[in-house]
Structure 1
């Protein structure tokens, strides 16, 4: 017995057959036009889905495959959204949010989201910083083996942190200055791990991705082995499809 409908995302226009798509629980994915919006859905076999890696990947795969097949202007819905029927969708989503949904479709038309995450080796960067700053290195070396006061410990710690922060900001500024002109909008998020120094999503014209990718590669080469870049050139536009 089905628990309801599992919703993946919304399109502004009707879409062709979705026969090739398989969703959660390996269920076939369908489209349904409701009040002028096209919903991508499958029959839900559970009332609540665990946010496991397998389920999350299945959810994302449906959205990405739909986009790859040409259904580009998509509003992705959050993982785990199960509704009883289409009346629920009308009363709880479309009626209260119709204007916002249409505004988002207008904003995303002809656009795609890409993301750039920058990581570095903090220890290696610290060593490189000391080599390029003889005065700071000398000051640190002179303090080694001494019984330092709390004020001295704080002072040298702040100097090192300040210089490391400047190096970090210089890297970030290079990426931002080079990539921002290609984007309609940029959203910067908190780094997801200690080694990550930058985490940003860019909303770019769909046909500009190749140029954006080339720009990322060029900046990466400029920094050599200092950085590791995670560039995602194809993802559902979660960052820019937020209903406030």
Structure 2
């Protein structure tokens, strides 16, 4: 027995009512036009879905495959959204949020989201910073083996932290200066690990991705293998499809 409808995302244009995709629980994916919005959905076999790796990948795969088939302007819906019927969609989503939905479609038309995460080896960067800053290195070396006061410990710690921060900001600024002119919008998020120094999503013209990725590679080469870059060139535009 079906538990309702599992919703994946909303498209701005009509798409075939049945497309060759399998969603959660291996259910066929369909589309339904409601109040001028095209919803991608499958029959839900559960009232709630566990956010397991398998289920999350299935959700993402449906959206990415639909985009790859040419249905580009997409508002992805959060994972695990199960509704009883289409009336629920009308009353709880479309009616209260119609203006914002249409504004988001205008914002995303002809554009795609790409993301970049920059990581470095903190210990290696610290050593390189010391080698490049002889005065700071000498000051730290003079303190080694001594019983330092708390003020002295704080002072040297703050100096090292400030210089490492400047080094980090120079990397981030180099990427931002080169990539921002290619983007309509940029949203920066908090780094996810200690080694990650930058985490950002860019909204770019759909057909300009190759130019963007080349620019990422060009900036990376400036830093002579100091960095590890995680670049995602194809993803549903979650970052830029937020209803306020």
Q: TM-score, normalised by structure 1?
A: 0.99
User: SS at 1:20's partner residue?
Assistant: strand
Matches of 1:53 and 1:214 in 2, distance apart?
31
How far does the alpha carbon of each residue in 1:25-48 deviate from its partner, in whole angstroms, 9 at most, with x for none? 111100000011000000000000
User: SS at 2:114's partner residue?
Assistant: strand
What is aligned with 1:218? 218
**RMSD of equivalent CA atoms:** 0.7
Report the alpha carbon displacement of residue 102 of structure 1 after superposing the two structures with TM. 0.5
Report the alpha carbon displacement of residue 18 of structure 1 after superposing the two structures with TM. 4.1
Matches of 1:45 and 1:193 in 2, distance apart?
36
Matches of 1:211 and 1:18 in 2, distance apart?
34
Within-5 A mapping of 1:16-31 = 16=16, 18-31=18-31
What is aligned with 1:41? 41
Give the paired residue count: 244
- After the TM superposition, which parts of structure 1 deviate over 3 Å for at least 4 consecutive aligned residues? none
Report the alpha carbon displacement of residue 142 of structure 1 after superposing the two structures with TM. 0.5
The question of 1:50 aligning with 2:63 is answered: no
Report the alpha carbon displacement of residue 20 of structure 1 after superposing the two structures with TM. 1.5
- Of stretches 165-174 and 10-19 in structure 1, the one that deviates more from structure 2 is 10-19
Matches of 2:99 and 2:159 in 1, distance apart?
51
What is aligned with 2:208? 208
- Of stretches 28-37 and 12-21 in structure 1, the one that deviates more from structure 2 is 12-21
What is aligned with 2:73? 73
Note the residue ranges of structure 2 that are not aligned, 5 or more in a row: none
Matches of 1:223 and 1:116 in 2, distance apart?
16
What is aligned with 1:4? 4
Matches of 1:139 and 1:48 in 2, distance apart?
59
Report the alpha carbon displacement of residue 13 of structure 1 after superposing the two structures with TM. 1.4
Within-5 A mapping of 1:134-213 = 134-213=134-213
User: SS at 2:22's partner residue?
Assistant: coil
The question of 1:89 aligning with 2:114 is answered: no
How far does the alpha carbon of each residue in 1:60-119 deviate from its partner, in whole angstroms, 9 at most, with x for none? 000000000000000000000000000000000000000110010011000000001000
Note the residue ranges of structure 1 that are not aligned, 5 or more in a row: none
How far does the alpha carbon of each residue in 1:143-183 deviate from its partner, in whole angstroms, 9 at most, with x for none? 00000000000000000000000000000000000000000
